[in-house]
Amino acid sequence: MSGGTVRSLGKGSAPPGPVPEGLIRVYSMRFCPFAKRTLLVLRAKGIRHEVININLKNKPEWFFKKNPSGLVPVLETSLGQLICESAITCEYLDEAYPGKKLLPGDPYEKACQKMVFESFSKVPSLMVGFLGKQNKEDCSGLKEELHKEFSKLEEVLTDKKTTFFGGNSLSMIDYLIWPWFERLEALELNECVDHTPTLKLWMAAMKKDPTVSSLLTDVKTFQGFFNLYLQNSPEACDYGL
């Protein structure tokens, strides 16, 4: 199941049953960048999973038992174990499941990925600031801040002299930061990578990755979602279905 075609569950919906053995469940939302991280890792590692999309504008009461904060993503195992916080879910999946390791085995290389992740940490809240900005002038301060953050990431790539943030193959850190770059075009922010050529090359390389491309959301669908989301529409999360 790709999770891209399942209507979200909202208030009044019946709580889902237990997770069948051999599967892991992710509570998600098709347009949430944090949940996208978890979906990318599930796909990259070939983990059998089911997706339950949550209507974040009309949350089911039962969802607060899965995560008291009511946020996605949340993982639920067949043992009823719940894991919240996107980065924690991704690391959990990498550790708990066999196959290709997305985090490096070397302790220093692993620490480096976490340090890069820290230096990315301002980007999500900056990008939220662009949603619904009608007036271009409002954006110039925010754009400058975003430029600054992207320059930091550019420096990491140019210092390492590798295509990806963890080396010459794609790894965890690339998946963790990708969802915000996926949204740049829909937010009309492509120019923010104009002065960071290596970052731009990284974006192109990411789009060629089979996992990334299989989960790519197109610009029009994003924009349709953003539109409805800003109007607080309970239909937003299901846009395009």
Place of tokens 């949350």: 59
Closest CB to other proteins among 43 and 110? Answer: 110
Least distance in angstroms from the C-beta of 75 to other proteins? 9
CB closer to other proteins, 77 vs 223: 77
Q: 198 near 158, Cβ under 8 Å?
A: yes
Catalytic status, residue 32 = yes
- The edge-to-edge listing of strands for the beta sheet with 49-53 is 49-53, 24-28, 74-76, 82-84
Pairing mode, if any, of strands 74-76 and 49-53?
unpaired
Q: Which is nearer to other proteins, 21 or 137 (by Cβ)?
A: 21
Q: Residue 118 Cβ, how far from other proteins at the closest point, in Å? A: 5
Residues contributing to the site for other proteins (CB under 8 A): 77, 81, 83-85, 88-89, 91-92, 95-96, 107-108, 110-111, 114-115, 118
From residue 130, give the alpha-carbon distance in Å to each of 34, 71, 181: 17, 21, 13
Q: What Rg, from alpha-carbon coordinates, does the chain have? A: 18
Q: How far is the CB of 97 from other proteins (least distance, A)?
A: 9
Catalytic residues, which ones? 32
